Each structure stands twice: as structure tokens, then as C-alpha cells.
Amino acid sequence: MISQIINWRTTLAIVAILIVSGTIFYSNFLSKKIAADERKKVSIWAESLKTKSLTTDQSALNLTSIITNENTEIPIIETDEFDNPTGNFLNIDTNKTKDFTNLLKEKTIEFKKLHDSIKVDISTDPLVYNKYYYGDSDLLKQVRYYPIIQLFIVALFIFITLITISIRNKSTQNQVWAGMAKEAAHQLGTPISSLQGWLEMLKENPENNAVASEISKDIDRLKLVSDRFGKIGSTPQLEPMNIVLQIDQMMNYIRRRSSEKINFSFHTNQDVITALINAPLFDWVIENLLKNSLDALDHEGSISIDVKNENSQIIIDVTDNGKGISKKNLPFVFKPGFSTKKRGWGIGLSLSKRIIEYYHKGQLFVKNSEIGKGTTFRILLKK
């Protein structure tokens, strides 16, 4: 059980999560350390301004100038005790605006949200003090935003990896489908040839004509099935065909092999609707949808096919009043291997979707379904 859960994908995901988590914690630690260091620098700069205003000593003034010149990253604004800018500031670009006073007020409000002010007394009797508001340096911003950028890069990497794996799996699945189909067609070829030989021997005796006729129909059916499987994996030839005739023939074929308690109906707004199709594969899709409806009816009910010729597309609806499909199963209806029947491999609808969408460049989907009321499958073909 553990070996199934812990594979190379989960291991890779855990390692990626640990790396990102470690980076976030370390970046947070660094940002706090840089923020504390910058607050100290602002305090020193504020004290240097106080010293500058209270002394005429040249060495002290030189030291103040050095402290001011060394701070080239942290933006600072000096205000009075009522948060009105005094005009002293550092590392704020005032060249982009002519409204110098409003710029300092806006920056003061901005810095006020980031950090608490630093107060420096400039007079003790009466007590007067200035406040110093400051923002984040570029280095601090980079350290804080770095984890977000890293998360984005990791998410992008995971997304690309998942897309690549999905494409690879789909390609492998397509190869498996094509291989299985061609192998089935190949395996059917030998017994069909043998049956044709035995059929000719039966025809030599006139008494066997009735039996030979039925066997001939079954052999033709097997040849059709073999032809269908043989076309999977290769690009089938599409030809302009009257799909009304194709659907009507397939419905009659299924009707003859169904219970008399099942009512079949076929409706179309035109007698001739031409579309580019591969007849054997298209018939296979209609057959699969009708058989799916028969399974849903359980030997009693109604099945209808409606064909509409629209301006840009042809719409084919296959509807039954059977047991319907639950909402939880709708996303899996066309998945290979999914089936609610006790028997069957669950590949009929999956193959049908592949035939319509991959070979005919159309669409096949569940238009609507309701438990106890029935299901409608819709085919859309481009004109």
C-alpha cells in the first residue's frame, strides 16, 4: 500500500514542496533581519539630523553628512508631531511631479501603513519632537517577493510537467488503441477466410441455401467489424454521404435485433443531408449509441433519432427514455473501461467519441440526462 502511494511523482512533489517551504521560511527570516537593520539605519539618520541642528562642530557635521550619503536605498520622510512633512526627506524621487508637497503627504500615508514612526525629541521644554516615516528598500522588497516569484515558477514547471505527462499518456493510449484494433482485425481475417470457404461448400448442396444465406450475412457482418477495427489508427477516407440513409439503415438493423416492446422513431428536417464521413466508422458510432440506449431501456421503452441540417453544422440527437446517467458518472461516460453494466469492457462510447472527434473533426457529448427519465447523446458534424 505504501509503495503504491510513494512513487517517483509523489516523491518529486514532496521534495518540491519542501524546497519551496524552506525558501519561504528562510526568505521570511531574512526579510525580518533586513527590516530590523533598516530601522536602525533610519534611527541613526534621524539622530544625525538632530545633532546637525544642535551643534556647529565640524567633525559632527561631517559625520552627519557621511551617514546621510551612505543611505542610498531607504526612503525616509521627516514630519512634525502632527504628521505634516517638514521638507526633509531622503531617497524619494521628486522629479516626476511638480506638486512636491502632496507627494510627500502621499508618501507619508504610504509609509505610515508599512512601519511605525521613529520619534526624535528636538526640544524638551516645551516637548517638541519630529517623526520619521520610512518605506522598504529595493533589497527588502526583492527578498519579500522572491518566494512568490519562486512559487509561480514552480507552479509553471509543475503545469508544464503535467501537460507533458498527459500528452505522453494520451499518445501511448492512442498507440495501444490502434495496436489492439489492428491486431483484432488481423486475428479476424483468418477465421473469416475459412468461413467463406466452408460457405462455398455449403452452397454446393441446394438444400443448404437457407442456412448458407444466413451464414453469409453473418460473415459479411464479421467482415464489416474487421474493416472497422482495421481503420482505427490510420487516417480513414471521408466521402460525401447521405447520413439520413446511413442512420436509417443502422436503425433498421438494430430494430430487427431488438425486443418488439421497444419503439424506434427517426425524425429529420430533410430527406437528404450530405456530410463528409467514413461510412463503416460512422455506422459503428450510431450502432454503439443505439446499443447503449437499448441497455438503458432493459427490453422496453422508446429510442428516437433526430437529425437537423443547420447553417454551419449537422445535429444528430440519439434519445432514450431509459434509466439515465447519474451526475457523478457523467464525467466518466467516455472514459475507456467505464461501464455501469455487469458485462462489457466499457470501450464502445470511448471509441465512438474518438471516431467522431478525431477522425470526423466533430463533437460527441451527453446533451442531457436525468435519472429515471432518459439520456440524449448529441453528435455535431461540420458541413
pLDDT digits (tens, 9 = 90+) for 197-206: 888 888 888 8
**Range 27-53 average pLDDT:** 79
At a CB cut-off of 8 Å and minimum separation 6, what does 73 contact? 91, 137, 138, 139
Give residue 52's pLDDT.
Answer: 64
In this predicted structure, the answer to whether residue 18 has a pLDDT above a threshold of 90 is no
Give residue 97's pLDDT.
Answer: 67
Q: What are phi and psi of 205, to 5 degrees?
A: -100, 115
Tell me the percentage of the chain whose pLDDT exceeds 70. Answer: 81
**Range 20-31 average pLDDT:** 81
- State how far the Cα of 148 lies from the Cα of 49, in Å rounded to an integer: 38
Q: Are 377 and 367 in contact (CB under 8 A)?
A: yes
Give residue 262's pLDDT.
Answer: 93
Q: What is the pLDDT of residues 181-194, one digit of tens each?
A: 666 766 777 777 78
In this predicted structure, the answer to whether residue 133 has a pLDDT above a threshold of 80 is yes
In this predicted structure, the answer to whether residue 361 has a pLDDT above a threshold of 50 is yes
Give residue 23's pLDDT.
Answer: 79
Confidence band (pLDDT; 50, 70, 90) for 313? very high
Give residue 1's pLDDT.
Answer: 43
**Range 301-315 average pLDDT:** 93
On average, the pLDDT of the chain sits at 81
Of 38-47, 107-116, 136-145, 210-219, which one has max mean pLDDT?
107-116
Question: Which has more pLDDT, 150 or 198?
Answer: 198
Give residue 160's pLDDT.
Answer: 86
Half-sphere exposure of 185 toward its Cβ, with a 13 Å CA cutoff? 18
At a CB cut-off of 8 Å and minimum separation 6, what does 268 contact? 244, 306, 307, 308, 309
Q: Cα–Cα–Cα angle for 20, 164, 382, nearest 5°?
A: 135
Q: Cα–Cα–Cα angle for 226, 232, 237, nearest 5°?
A: 95
Give residue 346's pLDDT.
Answer: 59
Q: Which residues of the chain form beta strands (DSSP E)? A: 76-79, 85-90, 118-124, 127-134, 239-242, 262-268, 274-277, 301-309, 313-320, 363-370, 374-382
C-alpha cell at 193: 477466410
In this predicted structure, the answer to whether residue 378 has a pLDDT above a threshold of 50 is yes
Confidence band (pLDDT; 50, 70, 90) for 368? very high
**Range 13-32 average pLDDT:** 80
In this predicted structure, the answer to whether residue 158 has a pLDDT above a threshold of 80 is no
In this predicted structure, the answer to whether residue 73 has a pLDDT above a threshold of 60 is yes
Which one, of 345, 339, 299, lies nearest residue 322 by Cα?
A: 299
Give residue 151's pLDDT.
Answer: 77
Burial 285-299 (b: 16+ CB within 10 A, else e): bbbbbbbbbbbbbee
- State how far the Cα of 3 lies from the Cα of 26, in Å rounded to an integer: 32
**Range 217-221 average pLDDT:** 80
Helix (H, G, I), strand (E, B) or coil at 62: helix
Confidence band (pLDDT; 50, 70, 90) for 365? very high
Strand order in the sheet with 363-370: 262-268, 301-309, 313-320, 374-382, 363-370
Give residue 137's pLDDT.
Answer: 81
Give residue 251's pLDDT.
Answer: 93
Confidence band (pLDDT; 50, 70, 90) for 126? low
Give residue 248's pLDDT.
Answer: 94
The model carries a pTM of: 0.52
In this predicted structure, the answer to whether residue 239 has a pLDDT above a threshold of 80 is yes
Give residue 82's pLDDT.
Answer: 83
Give residue 227's pLDDT.
Answer: 75
